[in-house]
Chain A
Amino acid sequence: MSIGQTFLGLLEATPRHGYDIKRRYDEHFGHSRPVAYGQVYATLSRLLRGGLVEVEAVEPGEGPDRKRYAITEAGVADVAQWLARPEQPEPYLQSVLYTKVVLALLTGREAAELLDVQRAEHLRLMRELTRRKRGGDLAEQLICDHALFHLEADLRWLELTTARLDELAARVRA
């Protein structure tokens, strides 16, 4: 995720102090992984250098939180450009699992076993996410669903591969 554009987006509504930006960020996007203060100020100074934000006011006193940042016109343009640009879909063409399966087949190991273990692991994670989803608010639910759908896709692949293991084995060993 592009943390820079996210900060710009948070500043577009209203100028904020650094700690305010961090709090907002954690609230919406941090979830299990809050952003570090160091990361916040490093990012802000990068944006400042690029002319995308400016320091709107400096309050008297000690500490790094005296500056209030505001977005510049260039910054607004940057956010708009970022939002309008579609994300490159993940091609998922490099799969560790696929490599593992082929290797297992080549080395005469139990590939089905490997897939079952993987499935159980996927399901374990899905179960955990489902549990979190139950307790969580809408944001939490949407985030978990995103993960769940991806995991489900993996599981489908596992299912399909399991069903076609014999075919694959024949081809790999040919």
Chain B
Amino acid sequence: MSAPLLVAEGLHRSFGETVALVDAALRIDEGEVVAVLGSSGSGKSTLLHCLAGIVRPDRGRVVFDGRDLVTMSDAQRSALRREQFGFVFQFGQLVPELTCLENVALPLRLARVPRREAEQRAGQWLERLEVTEVADKRPGEVSGGQGQRVAVARALVTRPRVIFADEPTGALDSLNGERVMRLLTEAARDSGAAVVLVTHEARVAAYSDREVVVRDGRTRNLEVAA
């Protein structure tokens, strides 16, 4: 078995009085889809933020590709997020002033890809996610499902190695939610990206290869022989 892509061990994190994570652990292999399940307030979003280097845990380590995110500088973690990770959130992630195409091109532009090339690649991803028609519209003018597909396109456009999706279908109805999940997991699989999928919905989690349950800040990693 090859070395895991992302490993977290002994993560502790509290926000003031609130304890969000207690000794949480997780490993993700190259290209696999892992669901992080838990009720609201269980600490699953915090776990995702720690894994993605957005939040620094109070204790513990997060190793991506042999490097510990916890000891990295802010700039290094920003660069890592820009280049190796992609993100899909529940809502409010698209910049309202930019067109959908520009939103998708944004991570590339942040990585200093020239505008023309960035927008061309962004266009291909919009096509891959079946939302070509919204390219020139602003996020306020598209439906929730289209917006989420644009967000998925944006998460994938840099060909990241891990995609972090936090309740990506939370604001969608089942039909649109299923479509987003299908496109997200297929596109991730095609480009070889691993997916960390935070959700409280079992049907969304069912798109994963395996699940991790977070309860009261602790992870329960039940490996059931398939």
Give the B-binding residues of A (Cβ under 8 A): 116-117, 119-124, 126-127, 129-130, 134, 148-149, 151-152, 155-156, 159, 162-163
Contact of A126 among B39, B202, B222 (CB under 8 A): B202
**Chain A interface, DSSP helix/strand/loop, else mixed:** helix
CB distance from B218 to the nearest CB of A (A): 12
Q: Are A122 and B222 in contact (CB under 8 A)?
A: no
Q: Which residues of A contact B91 (CB under 8 A)?
A: none
The number of chain B residues with a CB under 8 A from chain A is 17
CB distance from A78 to the nearest CB of B (A): 35
Which one of B203, B213, B220, B226 has the greatest number of beta carbons of chain A within 10 Å? B203
Q: Which residues of A contact B182 (CB under 8 A)?
A: 134
Q: Which residues of A contact B208 (CB under 8 A)?
A: 127
Q: Are B202 and A116 in contact (CB under 8 A)?
A: no
Q: Given A121-B224, A159-B39, A163-B39, verify A116-B213 contact (CB < 8 Å).
A: yes
Bound complex: CA of A117 vs CA of B223, how far in Å?
9
Q: Are B39 and A120 in contact (CB under 8 A)?
A: no
Q: Are B213 and A152 in contact (CB under 8 A)?
A: no
User: What are the 5 closest A-B residue pairs judged by CB atoms, nearest first?
Assistant: A126-B206, A120-B224, A130-B206, A155-B202, A152-B202
Q: Are B207 and A123 in contact (CB under 8 A)?
A: no
**B201 in the interface (beta carbon within 8 A):** yes
CB distance from B179 to the nearest CB of A (A): 12
Give the A-binding residues of B (Cβ under 8 A): 39, 182, 201-203, 205-209, 211, 213, 215, 220, 222, 224, 226
CB distance from B38 to the nearest CB of A (A): 9
Bound complex: CA of A123 vs CA of B206, how far in Å?
6
Bound complex: CA of A119 vs CA of B208, how far in Å?
14
Q: Given A152-B201, A163-B39, verify A127-B224 contact (CB < 8 Å).
A: no
CB distance from A103 to the nearest CB of B (A): 21
Q: Which residues of A contact B226 (CB under 8 A)?
A: 124
Q: Which residues of B contact A117 (CB under 8 A)?
A: 222, 224
Q: Are B203 and A152 in contact (CB under 8 A)?
A: yes
Q: Which residues of B contact A156 (CB under 8 A)?
A: 202
Q: Which residues of B contact A155 (CB under 8 A)?
A: 202
Contact of A119 among B39, B201, B206, B213 (CB under 8 A): B213
Q: Are A116 and B207 in contact (CB under 8 A)?
A: no
Q: Which residues of B contact A122 (CB under 8 A)?
A: 202
Closest to B186 in A: A134
Q: Which residues of A contact B222 (CB under 8 A)?
A: 116-117, 119-120
